[in-house]
Amino acid sequence: MRHTTFGWQYVRVGDLVARGALLIGDGYRVTNAELASTGTPFVRGGDIGDGDICTDVADHIAEEFSDRLTSKLTMPGDSAFIAKGTVGRVGHLRARQPQVVFSPQVCWWRVLDHRVLVPGFVYYLLRGHEFQANLNAVKTHGAMAADYVSMTDQYEFRLPIPPIGAQRAIAHVLGSLDDKIDLNRRMNETLEEMARAIFKSWFVDFDPVRAKMEGRQPVGMDADTAALFPDEFEDSELGEIPKGWRLRPLDEVADFLNGLACQKYPPEDGDSLPVIKIRELRQGFTENSDRATTAVDEEYIIEDGDLLFSWSGSLEVVMWCRGRGVLNQHLFKVTSPDYPKWFYHQWLLHHLPEFRHIASGKATTMGHIKRGHLTEALVVVPPADVIAAADAVMAPLLGLTIANELECRTLAETRDTLLPKLMSGELRVPE
pLDDT digits 0-9 by tens, 240-277: 999 999 999 999 999 999 999 999 999 987 789 999 99
Pairwise CA distance, residues 422 & 128, whole Å: 10
Q: What is the DSSP string of 188-240?
A: HHHHHHHHHHHHIIIIIS-HHHHHHHTT-PPTT--HHHHTTS-S-EEEETTEE
Cα–Cα nearest to 102, from 66, 60, 64, 134: 60
Q: What phi and psi values does residue 8 have, to the nearest 5 degrees?
A: -75, 150
Give the per-residue pLDDT at 3. 53
* First CA to last CA distance, the chain: 23
Asked if 342 contacts 191 with a C-beta cutoff of 8 angstroms, the reply is no
Helix (H, G, I), strand (E, B) or coil at 91: strand
- 369 closest CA partner among 382, 381, 357: 357
Say what the pLDDT of residue 140 is.
76
Any idea what DSSP says for residue 85? S
From 298, 294, 289, 303, select the one nearest 273 (Cα to Cα).
294
Position 218, amino acid: P
Q: What CATH number belongs to 9-161?
A: 3.90.220.20
Do 218 and 211 meet the contact criterion of CB atoms below 8 Å apart?
A: yes
- Residue pair 309/276 in contact (Cβ under 8 Å)? The answer is no
Helix (H) or strand (E) holding 400: helix 384-424
Q: Map residue 352 onto helix, strand or coil.
A: helix
Q: For residue 150, give Cα distances in angstroms to 147, 160, 407.
A: 10, 21, 37
Ranges of residues in the chain whose predicted pLDDT is under 70: 1-7, 141-145, 362-366, 431
Distance CA 413, CA 226 (A): 45
DSSP SS3 for 280: helix
Q: Are 276 and 327 in contact (CB under 8 A)?
A: yes
Report the helix count and the strand count for the chain, using DSSP H and E. Answer: 12, 22
Angle at 25 between CA 24 and CA 26, to 5 degrees: 140
d(CA 221, CA 61) in angstroms, rounded, equals 44
- Is the separation of the CB atoms in 324 and 306 below 8 Å? no
Contact 134, 33 (CB under 8 A): no
Question: What per-residue confidence (pLDDT) applies to 143?
Answer: 52
CATH 3.90.220.20 fits 246-381, yes or no: yes
Specify the domain boundaries for CATH 3.90.220.20 within the chain: 9-161, 246-381
How many whole angstroms from its chain centre is CA 31? 26
CA–CA separation, 254 and 375 (whole Å): 11
The order of strands in the sheet holding 291-293 is 291-293, 272-276, 325-327, 301-302
